[in-house]
Amino acid sequence: MTTAVTAPERAGSAPDGTPVHRWVLERAGTRVAVLDYGGILQSVEVPDRDGVRADVVLGFGDVAGYVDCPSPYFGALIGRYANRIAGGAFTLDGRTYRLPRNNGTNCLHGGERGFDKRVWDAEPAADGHGVRLSLVSPDGEEGFPGRLAVSATYALDAAGALRIEYRAVTDAPTVVNLTNHSYWNLGGAGSGRAGGHRLRIAAGHVTPLDGDSVPTGPPAPVAGTRFDFREPREVGSGYDHNFVLDQGTPGAPGASFAAELYDPVSGRVLTVTTTEPGIQLYTGDAFDAGPFGPCEGIALETQHFPDSPNRPDFPSTVLRPGEEFRSVTTYGFGTADDRT
């Protein structure tokens, strides 16, 4: 089979009773399930070095699992603003906007009802290899200015890699930062802690953080610190940090190599390329959700930097009328006998 996009099937209901559907994509040995609730990447099935298939993202079998979970954003599409905005406020063009403080004193992942809790409109992608999700976020939603029209297309390429393309336009100046919040365990979901995976990140700098995970200053060199993943090493635990990607590292067309994750037991390899300037490494130390315990999945969230709306020295997240936000991240899958 070269390509298959299965007709959507009912997968449950959102808390308000809106029907939720599952779209299944299959190509070149990769099988992916996407929910129109939260744009959730529900499963990604790929073979190991012996050809045995397993689901390598943490998730639940139905919508209720996501709704009932004390959410660490399993597999979700995050917006309007991924990561934290300090103090739940930012100033744009001289006007201050107040946001929900749903993470201590900060706004996290778009507020109390971000894009991860919305039912998106869904249709087959134009090229026939994926599903296109879209929604309109009205002016003032969660405190953000401007009517924002957003789309996210999940598609499999000829090699079985998963490509997510985000687009957005606005009718008033606003800020935008979109990502996918999947937790990867290349041994298979439920196989135990993922800290033994080996990770390489193309980043010579990391943004230093305070105790609330808000940047305290300009990016700092990783050399000689536990943040140095420029050469592959075990992930371990204790990370919820934004890495500043080295731009121009060869990757997918129009994108740069960001990270590679390898599981020595299964031999599975995940390669991440992106157009984004940063990647958030989160080892899930704190969560205990359903069948999953701490450090059972590793999040690699491609995005702009935390608190960029309050940091003019960071790459801008401002979107204005007449402009288009566009971001592409690709997750490639393969196997290896050994990587050191």
**Residues 135, 118: contact at Cβ < 8 Å?**
yes
Residues 6+ apart with CB under 8 A from 127: 155
Which backbone phi and psi does 165 adopt, to 5 degrees?
Answer: -115, 125
Helix (H) or strand (E) holding 201: strand 198-201
Residues of the chain with pLDDT under 50: 1
Residue 220 has a pLDDT of 98
C-alpha 27/C-alpha 162 separation (Å) is 10
The backbone region for 178, taken as left when phi is positive above 0, alpha when psi lies in -120 to 50, beta otherwise, is beta
Q: For residue 281, give the amino acid letter.
A: L
Sheet architecture: strand order including 30-35: 4-13, 19-27, 30-35, 41-47, 53-55
Residue 265 has a pLDDT of 96
315-143-106 Cα angle (round to 5): 65
C-alpha 338/C-alpha 179 separation (Å) is 30
Residues 6+ apart with CB under 8 A from 1: 26, 27
Tokens representing residue 82 in the block: 């991924």
Residue 286 burial (C-beta neighbours within 10 Å; 0-12, 13-18, 19+): exposed
Residue 7 has a pLDDT of 77
Question: CB-side exposure of 25: number of CA atoms within 13 Å?
Answer: 31
C-alpha 58/C-alpha 46 separation (Å) is 14
Nearest CA to 137 out of 176, 101, 100 is that of 176
Residue 104 has a pLDDT of 95
C-alpha 99/C-alpha 111 separation (Å) is 7
Distance of alpha carbon 41 from the chain centroid? 9
Residue with tokens 């070269």: 2
**Catalytic residue annotation:** 181, 301
Nearest CA to 183 out of 195, 175, 172, 171 is that of 195
Eight-state DSSP code of residue 139: T
C-alpha 47/C-alpha 179 separation (Å) is 25
Residue with tokens 């080996």: 198
Residue 1 has a pLDDT of 44
Q: Which residues pair with 133 in a beta bridge?
A: 122, 152
